[in-house]
Amino acid sequence: MNNFLKDLNPIQREAVVQTDGPVLVIAGAGSGKTRVLTFKIAWLLEQGIHARNILSLTFTNKAAREMRDRIEQLMQPDITRALWMGTFHSLFARILRRECQAIGYSQNFTIYDSDDTKSLIRSILHDLKLDDDIYPVGEVLRRISSAKNQLITAESYPSRSEWIAVDEYARRPDMSNIYITYARRCRNAGAMDFDDLLLNTFLLFQNNPEILKRYQDQFRHILVDEYQDTNYAQYSILNLLARTHRNLCVVGDDSQSIYSFRGARIENILNFRIDYPEYKIFKLEQNYRSTQTIVEAANSLILKNQSRIPKTIWSANETGALVEVAQSLTDQEEGFFISNRILDTHLQEQADFKEFAVLYRTHAQSRIIEEACRKQNIPYKIYGSISFYQRKEIKDILAYFRLILNHRDDESLKRIINYPARGIGKTTLDRLSEAAMQAQCPIWFVLGDPVAYVPQFNKGTAEKLLQFRHLIEEFSSIADTVDAYELAMRVVQGTGILEEYRFDRTPEGLSKFENIEQLINGIKVFVDQGNQEGEDASFSGMDFFLQNVSLMTDQDNDKPEDRNKVSLMTIHSAKGLEFGYVFIAGVEEELFPSSFSNGSAKEIEEERRLFYVAITRAMKRVVITLAKTRYRWGSLMDCRPSRFIREIDPKFLTVTGGGNQRNISGQSMEEEEEEFNSPRPIPPPARRIIPVSNKPGPRPPVDENFESDDPAAIQSGMTITHPRFGNGKVLQIEGEGNNRMATVFFKDTGNKQLLLKFARLKIIKT
């Protein structure tokens, strides 16, 4: 009966069988946290807890599917069917569809993705006559999202003096008005964005005690994965739901808290013992993933953080190779070094390409690595690139589905009212939008009697608008009587979308036609698999399909053709994944840690946690790469090794030159290794300076006999000469001693930041 417990180590077993009261499971990288969560749910079911009384929350659909599959291997599938298991957003959307009347929404509310929200914000900026240079769409969206994650509604925003003060300082005094208008338009459209799914769930529970009590009574046991990634809204909802039974089990790792830019709060996991004084803690410290060397190297790094829960991660695996630090002369050479090493390892060790990952701090770094892989014919997959459901032809069809189910969805209507072309131009659409805004109603209502709302419309225009409305009404009339597949087929055939691409023999047209076919295939698979949520069968299949698509993440789109390719991704995207061989690219000051994260010790600690996450993705080998020069804004800039490399215990490192036996400063490999391994103070962060020139000219040849002046004599304002870049003017001096850094403007190559110890500058007397 309890045989599955034998597969757990002692501390895992203790965490699983502790079912009463608040439980904090600190799960180090590769320590089997998913196993603990799945076995704990299985244990609860075996103890007689009904599946519907268990709420299990994850951050990706993929994680939820994997957990459900594992539980079904331990228990009977019919027992697990009623489990409330999924992402925060998907399960809260499920609750909101059930309780929508309490918050003034219909069951068929639309979920806006980031493209939809940006489109709506652009419309609002246009209507309010605000300059999108002063109010960048991305910044407006970030501000609204941040407010919602702090549970600040549009109505309460104007009374938040600290938020208004920040807006005034940023010279965006109309941010409050934008937020209020955005919230009103979403409600008028019967739509919620991702953040609304959290905010509205909190407001639902806060303002409706009887509804809250019903869910408190239902969810006797609540389990949360990756608790360190929760934001304030998620944290607040969990505390409301757990208030009655207090059986809240959270699993996470404070050392892997890397999403503060999304609103995640490391304080949620650090302060769990304060929120729940009767808590019990279990530390999963054995790493089953990585070699001993990788684990101990990562430990030596993360020890530098002050805000952390003490733990000692260890591994019983083989010792393994040292962590390699490979320097290249340029970022181009860095890319070729990585691709060459991947190819060599693939051939020599018979390693599949899927075992390799190249991780980087920013998306922009992928270009050089991608080019290097292409030249070596290495198959690769870039995570974070445009997903299938973001392609235009797919978004267009999904907009039809959304408008069919929710006539109030203005963003979908505007997208498809003239697709395929039906003679409804931009001027007509602008007049429709203006009329709807003045009448404070959705555009759909205007379509019911277009001339009454817009007298300027002639008979021909009005007829086209009425025909479009009738077309959508015909689809809506059958939406509740056919499954999602049949509705989709009728839409792509009845609207003329298939005909639009069927006879387009261009490569682009063929690709779009094939994508539409794949969409239809995906809907068919969805229908055939059936609705996993049996008690919600009253919702149409298309409702559920659209919700699943809206809440998908990049990792959920795992296609068979991508499964034996090298993974190129940001470190943020790699969290939760593992690979045999990991390359961490661009580990340099100003890049990693990011120049935007040098403002405080707290920000540097998060950057260090990010580097820790990168290292611990690897099972067999880690290679850290960096370049000595890198183009930034069109200018070739000298680069410094990241402080994080020096924070790793040198006994776990080996330094190579990426194929170059000497670095820019002329040091031998032995000297370079000594520089990496010798302790020295962390240099102060350099100020981020955008180069003046973005057109670098030809560089003069390096004079090997060039005699430089004493670096200590170089001062701000001096005119100097450099053996490669020629004459320049010193704009700024930062740092002390061996860490003195000069920002120098060169006529041909713009601003450069040079470490004076190695810069070989000569003062020009004037």
- pLDDT tens digits along 12-22: 999 999 999 99
Both structure tokens of 38:
């799945």
The per-residue pLDDT for range 515-541, each reduced to its tens digit, is: 898 888 888 877 877 644 444 444 447
Told to judge if 617 belongs to the known catalytic residues of this protein, a careful annotator would answer yes
Among the ranges 69-73, 78-82, 159-163, 508-512, which has the highest mean pLDDT value?
Answer: 159-163
Q: Is 394 helix (H, G, I), strand (E, B) or coil?
A: helix
Distances from the Cα of 290 to the Cα of 309, 569, 582, 615, 653, angstroms: 21, 20, 11, 10, 16
Q: Is the pLDDT of residue 164 over 70?
A: yes
**Non-local CB neighbours of 620 within 8 Å, separated by 6+ positions:** 291, 320, 321, 580, 581
Q: Look at the block and give the residue holding tokens 């005909």.
A: 499
Pairing of strands 741-746, 356-360: unpaired
- Give, for 399, the enclosing helix (H) or strand (E): helix 392-405
pLDDT band for position 662 (50/70/90)? very low
Q: HEC string of 409-468?
A: CHHHHHHHCCCCCCCCCHHHHHHHHHHHHHHCCCHHHHHHCHHHHCCCCCHHHHHHHHHH
Q: Are 733 and 716 in contact (CB under 8 A)?
A: yes
Q: Is 678 helix (H, G, I), strand (E, B) or coil?
A: coil
The per-residue pLDDT for range 631-652, each reduced to its tens digit, is: 775 677 899 999 999 999 999 9
- Of 225, 296, 543, 556, the catalytic one is 225
- Burial of residue 300 (number of CB atoms within 10 Å: 0-12, 13-18, 19+): middle
The per-residue pLDDT for range 467-503, each reduced to its tens digit, is: 999 999 999 999 888 889 899 999 999 999 988 877 7
Told to judge if 225 belongs to the known catalytic residues of this protein, a careful annotator would answer yes
Question: What is the radius of gyration, based on Cα positions, of the chain?
Answer: 29
Across residues 61-67, what is the average pLDDT? 87
Q: Look at the block and give the residue holding tokens 């501000």.
A: 143
Both structure tokens of 301:
């790094």
Q: Give residue 65's pLDDT.
A: 87
Q: Look at the block and give the residue holding tokens 């800039």.
A: 637
- Of 12, 33, 512, 760, the catalytic one is 33
Q: What span, in angstroms and rounded, lies between the C-alpha atoms of 544 and 529?
A: 12
Q: Give residue 766's pLDDT.
A: 62
Q: Is the pLDDT of residue 427 over 90?
A: yes
- Of 185, 415, 617, 646, the catalytic one is 617
pLDDT band for position 2 (50/70/90)? low
To 5 degrees, how large is the angle CA 581–CA 583–CA 588? 160
Told to judge if 273 belongs to the known catalytic residues of this protein, a careful annotator would answer no
Q: What span, in angstroms and rounded, lies between the C-alpha atoms of 116 and 395?
A: 10
Told to judge if 256 belongs to the known catalytic residues of this protein, a careful annotator would answer yes
Q: What span, in angstroms and rounded, lies between the C-alpha atoms of 313 and 315?
A: 7
Q: Is the pLDDT of residue 670 over 70?
A: no
Q: Give residue 698's pLDDT.
A: 39
The per-residue pLDDT for range 561-619, each reduced to its tens digit, is: 567 899 999 999 999 899 999 999 999 998 999 877 756 788 999 999 999 999 999 99
Q: Is the pLDDT of residue 350 over 90?
A: yes
Q: Is the pLDDT of residue 659 over 50?
A: no
Amino acid in the structure at residue 199: L
Q: Give residue 555's pLDDT.
A: 54
- Of 18, 19, 34, 107, the catalytic one is 34
Return phi, psi of residue 653, to 5°: -115, 150
The per-residue pLDDT for range 86-109, each reduced to its tens digit, is: 999 999 999 999 999 999 998 889
- Of 256, 293, 721, 749, the catalytic one is 256
Which percentage of the chain shows pLDDT scores above 90? Answer: 62
**What does DSSP assign to residue 681?**
P
Q: Give residue 694's pLDDT.
A: 35
- Of 99, 113, 193, 226, the catalytic one is 226
Q: Give residue 572's pLDDT.
A: 93
Q: What span, in angstroms and rounded, lies between the C-alpha atoms of 201 and 207?
A: 10
Q: What is the mean pLDDT of the chain?
A: 86
Q: Give residue 525's pLDDT.
A: 75
The per-residue pLDDT for range 189-237, each reduced to its tens digit, is: 999 999 999 999 999 999 999 999 999 999 999 999 999 999 999 999 9
Q: Give residue 750's pLDDT.
A: 67
Q: Are 80 and 68 in contact (CB under 8 A)?
A: yes
